[in-house]
Every structure is written in structure tokens, then in C-alpha cells.
Structure 1
């Protein structure tokens, strides 16, 4: 829930600014006490609620303040740093119209020639070893491949669509799912299902010309066969993320946006 008490639990303690994609973009890394806390902040707040990242400079001290203001709330998080343009030149990169992404991380206990080392959460903007972001399609494959299984469920309510649920042990794949929302069309995107010892699914769209394949997913063949029999080939259905819930008969649906958008495909092949 987006409120002052909840946000107060996620005060970061430092910030790192690096250039990526041959200096065409900037990655701001919020440094937390531990990755679990920072990951939770990114997954439950930055990935869900729209926000503004504001940088201001105290003209007397030269120190910079970093503020995250959430668009749908009167609350935000403010971090008064000791960084100045002289002590930390990367702060001068901000506010120049360069595309900027935000992630989270922690300080390592070790140092290298460039200074303190850090570990960051690559879920927001996956980057390779050369500090180049990978494509949306590659990110979706990488993120969805972390699922522990895939399930197929018929409709349980008159206004609820049949659903394919990609199940995770924890909140994962949110950024990839939101990117997939922008690619998929209910009119032209189909889910290809290939059965073997493990299941392979592919999002295929001839109109928009993309083909995204996620292999090696655990599944229940009887559940899949029943699902196919119930909907036929040219029947639209939903694709969602879910959290493993051993105490229940089906996974818990994982909302990736405040209004819980469901990806709907045209059918299966």
C-alpha cells in the first residue's frame, strides 16, 4: 500500500550513477542495506506506481538531494546526500535529458581501482557485462525462464477469462510482463504450445513480427489437455503471472500494475 508508513521502511542510504549503452542512457542505483529490502521496494513500488525522480542542489553547500515522488500519492522518499559536483561528478549527468533508469543495489565489502564495488538488481533494466541493455524480447525470455512451472485454468466466474498462469516462487518477471503487455495484441498474437518432457511456449505475432520463446517449463499434461479441450484453438484467453501457493488449489495471481492488467492472446496453436 502506498502510504507514509509503508514508504518509511524503504529509505536508501546511498546512490550510484553509471552510464550505459555507450553513454546513451543512465542507470541510477539506490543503495539499500540489503538486496531483499531494495528488491521489494522496486518490485512493489517502482514497478507498480508511476513516479518522478527529482534532483536538486543546495546552492550554499553544493550537496544534492534526490527525491522520489509518486504521482498518485502525496508521499515520497527524500534522500539528502553529501554528494557534490566536485566530489561525485556523475551527478552532473542527471537533468540533461538523457534517458534514465532506476534500480537498486548494495555495497560490496571489497573495492577496486575505481572505488567501492556494488551489486545491483538487473530486473529493471537488464544489462550485459559490457554495460549494454539487452532487448525486450531477450529480457522477457530471461525473466520468464525463472518460473517454476506453468498452469492452465478454465474460467471459474462468468466474467473471468480462461487463464494460463506462469508460476514463480517470489515476485519476479514484473518488468518483463509489463513490457509484454505493450507487444501483445488480442487480434494477432497467438500462444504456441509445444509438448515434450517439458513445455515450451512461444508468443507469436505475424503482424507485429515478433516471436518470443520460453522453453523448459514444468507442467501437468492432464491439466493442459483439459484446458485445450475446454476452449478450442481460436478462443482468446488470458496470460498472467502467479505466485506459488501450496495451501490453495491454484496459484495466487500476481498483479503487475495497480489496475491489474491481464494479457489476452487470440488463441493457441
Structure 2
């Protein structure tokens, strides 16, 4: 229940701010006594109720306080830290326009040259530029919308699938791609293509119940026509991220995980 008594059971005791996926996104980790407590807080509160994450600084002490305000309640949770802008540089990463996420974690009994070590829940939740909660779908849409164009490539080798490549001018949207990879299915996820001068691409899955649209992308009509003729109507193909590569005929494929996972969709509609 979203009330004072219920929230009082889930006060965190520390905070970590890190960059993840080759500096693609900022992750706020709320440190709890146990992973179980933090996981339950994410599941029962942050995944259910809209909220905003607010960082404020005391003018006299220069110390930060952090508050989770739930937007449909008068209650929230506040943590008064010893962090100052001088003592903890990562605090400057908050609210500077980078994609941001929030999760929970715990300290480990390990201290090395990198400092005190922690582990965190990999089921991270996106927040927007104002540090307010958004859906996973919205987070993916916002990241993908920064692409410069989308390209369509028929297969040129037996060991290479047909590909739709979302092209960027720098490494980005890696975290969003990995989140999409977690929910997309080769059996039930389709790519909808709407040509209206520019092109809208939508990932649609009735079984997993999500609809993610990236509007008004630049593309090559002849390239799309050749791609559709190559794969037919109900043929699976790969969706990848690419990096603009003016000196070559195709973008550089971006590796978003160590083992180069690829999203394969069931077909296009």
C-alpha cells in the first residue's frame, strides 16, 4: 500500500551513481540492507506508482538529500547523504540529458582500488529528463528517436541474416537496445513500417503486450523496396544498431553486449 507505514519499511541507506554500457546511460542505484528488500521495493512501488527522483543540496553544508516523491500520494522517501559536489563527482551526471535509469543494490564486503564494491538488480527502470518515471517502452522510444536514419539490408552471405539497422552518429541507445532484446520475441514481435515521406517503425507484440514506435526516420525508398522483395511477408530478420560510417557502404554494427546479442523479429507488417 502506498502510505507512510508501508513506505517506512523501504528506506534505503546509501546511493551510487554510475555510468553503464560504455557510458551510454546513467544508473542510480538505491543501496538497501538486502537485495530482497530492494527488489520488493522496485516490484511493489517503483514498477507500479509514478514518481520523481529529486536531488537537493543544502546551501550551508553542501550535502545532498535525495527524495523519491510518489506523484499520486502525499508521501515519499528521503535520504540525507554526506555527498557533496566535491566529494562525489558522479553526482554531476544527474539531470544533464543522458538517458537515466534507477535500480536497487547492496554493498559487498569488498574494497579494492576501485573503492567499495556493490551489486545491483539488472532489471533497471527508465526515468526521463526531469527524473520522473516513464515506461520501459517510452525509454526505448526516446533513445531510438535520436537515430539519424534507418537502413534496410538484404542478406549478402549465407551466414548473415537480413537486417534493419538503426543508425546513429555516435555510440548510444545501447541500454535501450538491450532492454528491447529482453522483451522481444522471434515468434511474436513484428516490425510495422509506415512510409509517409519519412518512415515510422513500430515494434508490435500482442502476446508480450507492447507497442514501441520510432517516428519520422530518414530512409532510402529503393533500399526498402529491395529489402521487402528479398524477404517476403512472413520472414524473420535481424534488428541492430549501427554507427554512421561515411567511408563504407554500410554502417558499423554496434555491439551492445559482450557476446553480440541480436534482436530477431518474426517479420514485418
TM-score (norm 2): 0.61
1:232 — aligned with what? 232
Q: Which residue of 1 aligns with 2:218?
A: 218
Which of 111, 123, 140 is the equivalent residue of 2:99?
Answer: 123
Shift, 1:208, TM fit: 1.3
Sort the Cα spacing of 1:142 and 1:46 in 2 relative to 1 into closer, same or farther, 3 A.
Answer: closer
Residues 171-205 of structure 1 deviation map (CA, whole Å, 9 limit, x = unaligned): 10111000101111111111000001111000011
1:28 aligns with 2:20: no
Sort the Cα spacing of 1:229 and 1:27 in 2 relative to 1 into closer, same or farther, 3 A.
farther
Equivalent position of 2:267 in the other structure: 267
Query: Where do 1:163-182 residues align within 5 Å?
Result: 163-182=163-182
How far does residue 128 in structure 1 lie from its aligned partner after superposition?
3.6
Q: Which residue of 1 aligns with 2:21?
A: 43
**Within 2, Cα distance between the matches of 1:44 and 1:235?**
33
For 1:226 and 1:119, the matched residues in 2 are separated by 43
Distance in 1 between residues matched to 2:187 and 2:267, nearest whole Å: 9
Which residue of the partner structure matches residue 199 of structure 1?
A: 199
Instruction: Quickly say closer, same or farther: Cα 1:158–1:23, change in 2 above 3 A.
Output: farther
Q: How far did residue 25 of structure 1 move? A: 11
Give me the whole-angstrom Cα distance separating, in 1, the residues matched to 2:262 and 2:161: 10
CA 1:133–1:217 in 2, change beyond 3 Å: closer, same or farther? Answer: same
Cα deviation, residue 119, structure 1: 3.3
Q: Please list every run of at least 4 consecutive aligned residues from structure 1 whose deviation after the TM superposition is greater than 6 angstroms.
A: 22-26
Count of residue pairs the alignment pairs up: 186
CA contact (8 A) 1:43 1:171 kept: no
Equivalent in the alignment of 2:247: 247
Measure, in 1, the Cα distance between the counterparts of 2:144 and 2:12: 27
The answer to whether the 8 Å contact 2:151/2:223 transfers is yes
Distance, in Å, in 1 between the alignment partners of 2:209 and 2:215 is: 20
Q: Structure 2 vs 1, CA of residues 25 and 237 (structure 1 numbering), >3 Å: closer, same or farther?
A: farther
The alignment's TM-score, normalised by the length of structure 1, stands at 0.61
Q: CA-to-partner distance for each residue in 1:191-223, whole Å, 9 max, x for gaps?
A: 000001111000011111111111011101110
